[in-house]
Chain A
């Protein structure tokens, strides 16, 4: 019924034909998923765009050897030119170098925060899903409590309270990185936890789990070998969306002037610095904002494609 509807409307409807059954190669679930993912053209294009961006921020600074803090007062707020392909900021610093450097931080924060939220969410969801009764109830109460906390105000509160301690503990750059990653991760795990728990509830009474149990598998082995791999599809989709959300959150914090310090130009920080000269140097803000938008859009499209590929029943 509703389940036969692919989640995404941008999927190529014309190609939704049953593939020929006679195949020489063995079809694993992953090749099957890849086949479905490829059908979502925008997701494939987005993967290429995202890959290009990751390569650019990873290897770009090696090719474009301008320092991010080369101050040049003769070239302030310049529009794009041959010497500065993306123009300069109010101190005459090269924007391309700063954007490449900031992209590293922004993408690293996104991926690291996703890892935190997926690990915590899977752990909480799995424990809640496999144990019944009071443990499950307590963990779900905690999940609901975190869901009803407004994330940005609480994030701001955490950063306000703890930033000085961490700065003295592990140094200003690493300290703020750890703080932001942990704080963003700590407020994104709830959806994953709920998804994993729901999957566990559906899977743990299935026959193959029963069979494994009857063969004497321990609870840990049943969870890790049999239930978890089958519950991963929605987690991967949620994780992809988490990367985008974490990048937006980090940019928001930096944009409010409460994220990374001025000498670490993340995309949000560049936007924060640029917003006061919006009328005279719009290119400054537009490049940074455009980079955030493009990255987040690409990740969201990939998430959309992955949803079709891995989780075709969940239409949301």
Chain B
């Protein structure tokens, strides 16, 4: 198991390097000195400018700059946000738990919807339930998160006044009341993200189960007289989940898009809304940092998908 894990970790390193290369190339190709905004500021004397250019290495050839940037990133020196007046890595670390919490919770909710609905629909193909579920799934993934979010605010905050539509990180309540308030303000962002995911995954689960359900080994299991629930859960679902895990891992980068939008709508103080505000404020170090963190998260979740894959399908693990 640990060898498999180490192998996977080693495979993740080149992709992280590739991502950093792509990001840095874009930064280097861009016109102007995105890192050198300070160095071109007329209020700063030329001698300071020169030393700053030297410090940031703006006059070095691009490969050298890439290596400098990479070693600095690896050392945890992610730059300084001139807008927020603090180190980028601290800023991101402050915001990261909120984002991971919202994304994680919505993924779990989406899975809790998609798995039963997808399996139930696929075990009764073309039934009324299947048709309704599939139509709803298609509608769900045609609904962009920003529109669902606005409709939710319109119905539940403006209309019914059930939930607050601005996320507050400074809730005054404490103890159980704090949890209740936190739950109330998290509910809408999580639901918006989960709706979209659940719709996509229901289709994945349904088609994966349909692929497996007519295989001979399932017929064998049935003809042995096993109860239907056992056949479905132990024989069908476990094998159907293998491609589903792959598809979910492939979908993850898209989840982050939804998370950024959701955070922006509900003003959740995560790294998604940090990215938007950094772009509006021309805060390049933060933009680079957040983009890189998102890329790292994708690689991390892919790694987790690989591990789950190995657990689901013993044939391919520990190789």
Please determine whether A148 and B299 come into contact, CB atoms closer than 8 angstroms: yes
Please determine whether A161 and B257 come into contact, CB atoms closer than 8 angstroms: no
Residues of B within 8 A of A2 (CB): 210-212, 214-215
Q: CA separation between A1 and B210, bound complex, in Å?
A: 10
Please determine whether B34 and A161 come into contact, CB atoms closer than 8 angstroms: yes
Which B residues from 262 to 286 make CB contacts under 8 A with A? 264-265, 275-276, 279-280, 282
Please determine whether B34 and A151 come into contact, CB atoms closer than 8 angstroms: no
Contacts from A to B (Cβ < 8 Å):
1-2, 5, 7-10, 13, 42, 141, 144-145, 147-154, 156-158, 160-162, 164-165, 244, 248-249, 251-252, 255-258, 268, 271, 275, 278-279, 282, 285-286, 289, 292-293, 296-297, 300-301, 304, 315-316
Please determine whether B279 and A258 come into contact, CB atoms closer than 8 angstroms: yes
Q: Which of B265, B275, B295 sits near A149, CB closer than 8 Å?
A: B295
Asked if B141 is at the interface (CB within 8 A of a chain A CB), the reply is yes
Residues of A within 8 A of B280 (CB): 257-258
Beyond A145-B22, A296-B144, whether A9 also contacts B125 by CB under 8 A is yes
Which B residues from 26 to 41 make CB contacts under 8 A with A? 26-27, 29-31, 34
Q: CA separation between A144 and B294, bound complex, in Å?
A: 16
Residues of A within 8 A of B294 (CB): 150, 153
Q: CA separation between A301 and B137, bound complex, in Å?
A: 11
Please determine whether A151 and B130 come into contact, CB atoms closer than 8 angstroms: no
Residues of B within 8 A of A315 (CB): 207, 210-211
Q: CA separation between A301 and B214, bound complex, in Å?
A: 26
Please determine whether B203 and A150 come into contact, CB atoms closer than 8 angstroms: no
Q: Tell me the smallest distance from the CB of A86 to a CB of chain B, in Å.
A: 16
Residues of B within 8 A of A158 (CB): 26
Residues of A within 8 A of B299 (CB): 148
Q: CA separation between A208 and B36, bound complex, in Å?
A: 60
Q: Tell me the smallest distance from the CB of A163 to a CB of chain B, in Å.
A: 10
Residues of A within 8 A of B110 (CB): none
Asked if B57 is at the interface (CB within 8 A of a chain A CB), the reply is no
Please determine whether B31 and A251 come into contact, CB atoms closer than 8 angstroms: no
Residues of B within 8 A of A292 (CB): 144, 147
Q: CA separation between A301 and B150, bound complex, in Å?
A: 24
Please determine whether B291 and A154 come into contact, CB atoms closer than 8 angstroms: yes
Beyond A10-B135, A278-B150, whether A148 also contacts B15 by CB under 8 A is yes
Residues of A within 8 A of B15 (CB): 144-145, 148
Asked if B220 is at the interface (CB within 8 A of a chain A CB), the reply is no
Asked if B82 is at the interface (CB within 8 A of a chain A CB), the reply is no
Q: Which residue of A lies closest to B28 (CB)?
A: A161
Q: Which residue of B lies closest to A244 (CB)?
A: B142
Residues of B within 8 A of A297 (CB): 138-139, 142
Q: Tell me the smallest distance from the CB of B24 to a CB of chain A, in Å.
A: 11
Beyond A5-B210, A150-B256, A304-B138, whether A157 also contacts B144 by CB under 8 A is no
Q: CA separation between A174 and B215, bound complex, in Å?
A: 54
Which one of B58-66, B151-159, B179-187, B224-232 is at the A interface?
B151-159
Q: Which residue of B lies closest to A13 (CB)?
A: B126
Asked if B131 is at the interface (CB within 8 A of a chain A CB), the reply is yes
Q: Tell me the smallest distance from the CB of B76 to a CB of chain A, in Å.
A: 20
Q: Which of B134, B211, B250 sits near A8, CB closer than 8 Å?
A: B134
Q: Which residue of A lies closest to B288 (CB)?
A: A157
Please determine whether B207 and A161 come into contact, CB atoms closer than 8 angstroms: no
Please determine whether A150 and B158 come into contact, CB atoms closer than 8 angstroms: no
Beyond A13-B126, A148-B253, A161-B34, whether A153 also contacts B260 by CB under 8 A is yes
8 residue pairs of the A-B complex, CB under 8 angstroms, read A9-B133, A9-B134, A150-B294, A152-B261, A157-B288, A282-B158, A315-B211, A316-B203
Q: Which 5 A-B pairs have the closest CB atoms?
A: A152-B257, A161-B30, A289-B147, A297-B142, A150-B294
Asked if B302 is at the interface (CB within 8 A of a chain A CB), the reply is yes
Most chain B beta carbons < 10 A, residue from A9, A162, A164, A271? A9
Q: Which residue of B lies closest to A142 (CB)?
A: B18
Please determine whether A300 and B141 come into contact, CB atoms closer than 8 angstroms: yes
